[in-house]
Amino acid sequence: MLKRKHLQRARGQRGQALVEMAMIAPFLLVLMLGAIDFGRVYFAYVAVTNGARNGADYAAGGSNAAADLASIKAAVVADTNELLDVSPTNPDVTVVTSTDSQGRLYADVSVQYTFTTIFDWPGLPHSIDLERTVRARVAE
Protein backbone atom coordinates (compact mmCIF):
# COMPACT_ATOMS: atom_id res chain seq x y z
CA MET A 1 0.00 0.00 0.00
CA LEU A 2 2.80 2.39 0.86
CA LYS A 3 4.49 1.61 -2.45
CA ARG A 4 1.31 2.41 -4.41
CA LYS A 5 0.94 5.88 -2.79
CA HIS A 6 4.57 6.66 -3.58
CA LEU A 7 4.05 5.81 -7.27
CA GLN A 8 0.93 7.94 -7.51
CA ARG A 9 2.75 10.93 -6.04
CA ALA A 10 5.69 10.53 -8.46
CA ARG A 11 3.32 10.47 -11.46
CA GLY A 12 1.58 13.60 -10.19
CA GLN A 13 4.87 15.45 -9.84
CA ARG A 14 5.95 14.50 -13.35
CA GLY A 15 2.66 15.81 -14.71
CA GLN A 16 3.09 19.03 -12.77
CA ALA A 17 6.59 19.52 -14.16
CA LEU A 18 5.27 18.98 -17.68
CA VAL A 19 2.55 21.61 -17.17
CA GLU A 20 5.08 24.08 -15.74
CA MET A 21 7.40 23.52 -18.68
CA ALA A 22 4.54 24.05 -21.14
CA MET A 23 3.71 27.33 -19.40
CA ILE A 24 7.30 28.67 -19.38
CA ALA A 25 8.40 27.41 -22.84
CA PRO A 26 6.86 30.30 -24.85
CA PHE A 27 8.57 32.84 -22.61
CA LEU A 28 11.91 31.08 -22.99
CA LEU A 29 11.47 30.92 -26.76
CA VAL A 30 10.72 34.66 -27.02
CA LEU A 31 13.70 35.40 -24.77
CA MET A 32 15.99 33.30 -26.97
CA LEU A 33 14.75 34.90 -30.21
CA GLY A 34 15.16 38.36 -28.69
CA ALA A 35 18.74 37.55 -27.74
CA ILE A 36 19.43 36.41 -31.30
CA ASP A 37 18.06 39.64 -32.82
CA PHE A 38 19.91 41.76 -30.24
CA GLY A 39 23.16 39.97 -31.07
CA ARG A 40 22.58 40.53 -34.78
CA VAL A 41 21.96 44.28 -34.38
CA TYR A 42 25.05 44.61 -32.16
CA PHE A 43 27.15 42.73 -34.72
CA ALA A 44 25.81 45.01 -37.49
CA TYR A 45 26.65 48.14 -35.47
CA VAL A 46 30.20 46.92 -34.87
CA ALA A 47 30.58 46.10 -38.59
CA VAL A 48 29.30 49.56 -39.60
CA THR A 49 31.67 51.24 -37.12
CA ASN A 50 34.66 49.22 -38.34
CA GLY A 51 33.71 49.88 -41.96
CA ALA A 52 33.59 53.63 -41.35
CA ARG A 53 36.97 53.49 -39.62
CA ASN A 54 38.51 51.53 -42.50
CA GLY A 55 37.08 53.95 -45.04
CA ALA A 56 38.41 56.93 -43.09
CA ASP A 57 41.78 55.23 -42.74
CA TYR A 58 41.94 54.77 -46.51
CA ALA A 59 40.83 58.37 -47.14
CA ALA A 60 43.55 59.63 -44.79
CA GLY A 61 46.22 58.34 -47.19
CA GLY A 62 46.28 61.55 -49.22
CA SER A 63 44.12 63.92 -51.23
CA ASN A 64 43.92 61.47 -54.15
CA ALA A 65 42.78 58.68 -51.83
CA ALA A 66 40.20 60.98 -50.22
CA ALA A 67 38.72 61.69 -53.65
CA ASP A 68 38.57 57.99 -54.66
CA LEU A 69 35.03 57.10 -53.55
CA ALA A 70 35.11 53.63 -55.16
CA SER A 71 38.18 52.55 -53.17
CA ILE A 72 36.79 54.03 -49.95
CA LYS A 73 33.54 52.11 -50.49
CA ALA A 74 35.56 48.94 -51.17
CA ALA A 75 37.36 49.45 -47.83
CA VAL A 76 33.99 49.83 -46.09
CA VAL A 77 32.45 46.79 -47.81
CA ALA A 78 35.43 44.67 -46.73
CA ASP A 79 34.15 44.98 -43.14
CA THR A 80 30.43 44.88 -43.88
CA ASN A 81 30.25 42.00 -46.38
CA GLU A 82 29.19 39.51 -43.67
CA LEU A 83 25.96 41.40 -42.97
CA LEU A 84 22.76 39.78 -44.20
CA ASP A 85 21.13 42.60 -46.16
CA VAL A 86 24.11 43.80 -48.19
CA SER A 87 23.27 45.29 -51.58
CA PRO A 88 24.81 47.95 -53.84
CA THR A 89 22.95 50.63 -51.84
CA ASN A 90 23.11 49.01 -48.41
CA PRO A 91 25.40 50.05 -46.78
CA ASP A 92 25.41 53.56 -48.17
CA VAL A 93 28.80 55.27 -48.04
CA THR A 94 29.27 59.03 -48.32
CA VAL A 95 32.54 60.95 -48.15
CA VAL A 96 32.78 64.67 -47.47
CA THR A 97 36.14 66.42 -47.60
CA SER A 98 36.76 69.88 -46.23
CA THR A 99 39.31 71.89 -44.32
CA ASP A 100 39.33 72.64 -40.62
CA SER A 101 39.94 76.05 -39.01
CA GLN A 102 43.70 75.65 -39.40
CA GLY A 103 43.49 74.85 -43.11
CA ARG A 104 44.15 71.10 -42.80
CA LEU A 105 42.23 68.76 -45.08
CA TYR A 106 39.99 66.15 -43.48
CA ALA A 107 37.55 63.53 -44.72
CA ASP A 108 34.28 62.51 -43.07
CA VAL A 109 33.31 58.96 -44.02
CA SER A 110 29.69 58.14 -43.21
CA VAL A 111 28.28 54.63 -43.41
CA GLN A 112 24.52 54.10 -43.20
CA TYR A 113 23.13 50.57 -43.01
CA THR A 114 19.47 49.54 -42.79
CA PHE A 115 19.16 46.58 -40.43
CA THR A 116 16.03 44.45 -40.50
CA THR A 117 15.07 42.17 -37.65
CA ILE A 118 14.30 38.51 -38.25
CA PHE A 119 11.06 38.74 -36.30
CA ASP A 120 8.37 41.41 -36.09
CA TRP A 121 8.49 42.52 -32.47
CA PRO A 122 5.37 44.28 -31.19
CA GLY A 123 6.12 47.88 -30.31
CA LEU A 124 9.54 47.87 -31.98
CA PRO A 125 10.45 48.91 -35.53
CA HIS A 126 11.11 46.15 -38.06
CA SER A 127 14.04 48.04 -39.60
CA ILE A 128 16.65 50.19 -37.89
CA ASP A 129 19.00 52.66 -39.57
CA LEU A 130 22.52 52.31 -38.18
CA GLU A 131 24.84 55.18 -39.03
CA ARG A 132 28.41 55.95 -38.12
CA THR A 133 30.62 58.86 -39.22
CA VAL A 134 34.38 58.87 -38.74
CA ARG A 135 36.57 61.92 -39.40
CA ALA A 136 40.19 61.47 -40.43
CA ARG A 137 42.79 64.09 -41.21
CA VAL A 138 44.12 63.63 -44.73
CA ALA A 139 47.88 63.33 -45.08
CA GLU A 140 49.54 65.95 -47.20
Q: pLDDT tens, 2-29?
A: 556 555 555 556 678 888 889 999 999 9
**Cβ neighbours for 91, distance < 8 A, ≥ 6 positions apart:** 48, 51, 76, 77, 80, 83, 111, 112, 113
Q: pLDDT tens, 58-95?
A: 999 988 998 898 999 899 988 888 887 777 778 899 99
Q: pLDDT tens, 123-138?
A: 888 899 999 999 999 9
Taken in order of first residue, the domains within the chain and their CATH numbers are 41-137 (3.30.1300)
**CB atoms inside a 10 Å sphere around CB 45:** 16
φ and ψ at residue 47, rounded to 5 degrees: -65, -40
Q: Whole-angstrom Cα distance, residue 15 to residue 13?
A: 5
pLDDT at 129: 93
The model's pTM? 0.79
**Cβ neighbours for 119, distance < 8 A, ≥ 6 positions apart:** 33, 37
**Residue range 46-66: mean pLDDT, rounded:** 92
Selected residue with higher pLDDT from 81 and 48: 48
What are the start-end ranges of the E strands in the chain?
92-99, 105-116, 127-137
